[in-house]
Amino acid sequence: MGFKICGTGSSVPETVVTNNDLTAFLDTSDEWIKTRTGICERRVMKSETLLDLAEKASLEAMRSAGLMSSDIDMIIISSLQGDFISPSMCCLLSAKLGINCTHMFDINMGCSGFIFALDMADSYLTAKKATAVLIVCAEGMSRMTDWTDRKTCILFGDAAGAVICVPGDGCIDLSLNIKGSYEHLYVGRSPNNSPFEQTEEYPPFLHMNGQEIYKFAVEAITNDIQRLLDKNAMTPNDIAYFFIHQANMRIIDSARQKLGQPEDKFPHNLEFYGNTSSASIPLLLDEINRAGLLEKDDRILLSAFGSGLTTSACILNWSF
Ligand code: UT7
């Protein structure tokens, strides 16, 4: 693989919604949410747009990389739903940041979007079609959550995480898997307004069968990680940190136990932000990077799963 990450950034909305805040309109409790998920609070957009979050995360990532807008020649945005259906978020962000480039697109690969975007950045950098790729995962989960459904709305939050990728040897290996199923996890769309359409309508909210996704997640994470390590003749002990998609602390713990690893190798921040879909790993990566916890040449492993159904994993050689 031919890329390395040379800068990280993130941004979350100002408004904090605690578990107790949710009890004002939901039949739930702080105790239930904490015990079943590990989540204590999440951030939700009030006056911010998704573009505001994406812009702030991008500026931080560029600052951390020591690059300016004029140095960036490709943008990839991962988002389940931008501020508009059209124009895409990458077009809006490029205008806001004054980035002039032709290679840019939005992808919608659910919670796995960050690692899918890393794979695409790698392809463009290796093909020399780009020299500095800005990846931004910007997710407005509060907009698509059914706030009357206590089984799902307690889980999610809004955030943006960004990285800059440049040519280099910072990625040891990467794997992507797609199952192609919407049975247990989907977000519907606004009602059909065509007088001709006769297909089934799905409510414009996130629908999830939590137990099925839980089982899928635990198995997928463990298998993806073990396969990737085996393929590269490595063991879990060779990895400094495992960055697992921040969906549920029980899922992360279960994977950790199966891999026989100590708690301090599995950083987490879902207690403060909930599940922020594809933003979750770059948000955590930025937090840990800024805290100075990553050493040059640390091997770190990223693993995500989500709607699609998709799973993805990646071993990085931390390079700055
Ligand atoms: O990024 C997308 C990936 N998504 C995920 O990773 C989600 C994976 N799934 C999960 O994290 C868990 O399945 C949940 C946290 C969603 C649910 O936890 P669970 O332990 O699987 O609970 P459950 O769905 O089996 O529900 C247990 C009970 C039920 O009551 P009964 O039927 O036993 O009387 C639910 O009605 O808990 C009830 N319940 C709640 N109670 C209080 C469900 N949601 C709540 C709630 N507050 N918010």
Spatial separation of the C-alpha atoms in residues 241 and 244, rounded to whole Å: 9
Mean pLDDT of all residues in 106-118: 97
Spatial separation of the C-alpha atoms in residues 168 and 276, rounded to whole Å: 29
Q: How far is the CA of 278 from the centre of ligand 1 (A)?
A: 21
Q: How far is the CA of 312 from the centre of ligand 1 (A)?
A: 24
Respond yes or no: is residue 275 known to be catalytic. yes
State the pLDDT at residue 200: 86
Respond yes or no: is residue 245 known to be catalytic. yes
State the pLDDT at residue 68: 96
Respond yes or no: is residue 111 known to be catalytic. yes
Q: Is the CB of 79 under 6 A from ligand 1?
A: no
pLDDT band of 1, cuts 50, 70, 90: confident
Tell which atom from ligand 1 comes closest to the C-alpha of 37: 15
Residue tagged active-site, from 90, 111, 171, 314: 111
Most ligand 1 atoms within 8 A of CB, residue of 145, 147, 151 to mutate: 151
Write out pLDDT tens, residues 193-214: 898 988 888 889 999 999 999 9
State the pLDDT at residue 243: 98
Counting Cα atoms < 13 Å in the Cβ hemisphere of 76 gives 26
259 closest CA partner among 285, 232, 224, 306:
224
Q: Is the CB of 211 under 6 A from ligand 1?
A: yes
Q: How far is the CA of 151 from the centre of ligand 1 (A)?
A: 5
Q: Give the 3-state DSSP-derived string for the chain, with helices as H, strands as E and coil as C.
A: CCEEEEEEEEECCCEEEEHHHHCCCCCCCHHHHHHHHCCCEEEECCCCCHHHHHHHHHHHHHHHHCCCHHHCCEEEEECCCCCCCCCCHHHHHHHHHCCCCCEEEEECCHHHHHHHHHHHHHHHHHCCCCCCEEEEEEEEHHHHCCCCCCCCHHHECEEEEEEEEEECCCEEEEEEEEEEECCCEEECCCCCCCCCCCCCCCCCCEEECHHHHHHHHHHHHHHHHHHHHHHCCCCHHHCCEEEECCCCHHHHHHHHHHHCCCHHHCCCCHHHHCECHHHHHHHHHHHHHHCCCCCCCCEEEEEEEECEEEEEEEEEECCC
Which residues, 6 or more positions from 302, have their beta carbon under 8 angstroms from its beta carbon? 114, 115, 243, 281, 285, 312, 313, 314, 316
Q: Is the CB of 151 under 6 A from ligand 1?
A: yes
pLDDT band of 183, cuts 50, 70, 90: confident
CA Rg, the chain, in Å? 19
Q: Give the type of residue at 109.
A: M
Helical packing angle, 210-231 and 249-259, nearest 10°: 30
Whether the Cβ atoms of residue 222 and residue 258 lie closer than 8 Å to each other: yes
Spatial separation of the C-alpha atoms in residues 123 and 103, rounded to whole Å: 12
Mean pLDDT of all residues in 141-162: 97
Q: Is the CB of 311 under 6 A from ligand 1?
A: no
Q: Is the pLDDT of residue 320 over 80?
A: no
pLDDT band of 153, cuts 50, 70, 90: very high
Whether the Cβ atoms of residue 15 and residue 44 lie closer than 8 Å to each other: yes
Give this prediction's pTM.
Answer: 0.96
Strands 158-167 and 3-11: antiparallel
Name the residue with the closest Cα to ligand 1, atom 36: 151
State the pLDDT at residue 37: 98
Q: Is the CB of 258 under 6 A from ligand 1?
A: no
Spatial separation of the C-alpha atoms in residues 191 and 201, rounded to whole Å: 7
Residue tagged active-site, from 165, 171, 245, 314: 245
State the pLDDT at residue 235: 97
Mean pLDDT of all residues in 44-72: 97
pLDDT band of 228, cuts 50, 70, 90: very high
Q: Is the CB of 100 under 6 A from ligand 1?
A: no
For 1-15, 39-53, 182-196, which range has the lowest pLDDT when averaged over its residues? 182-196
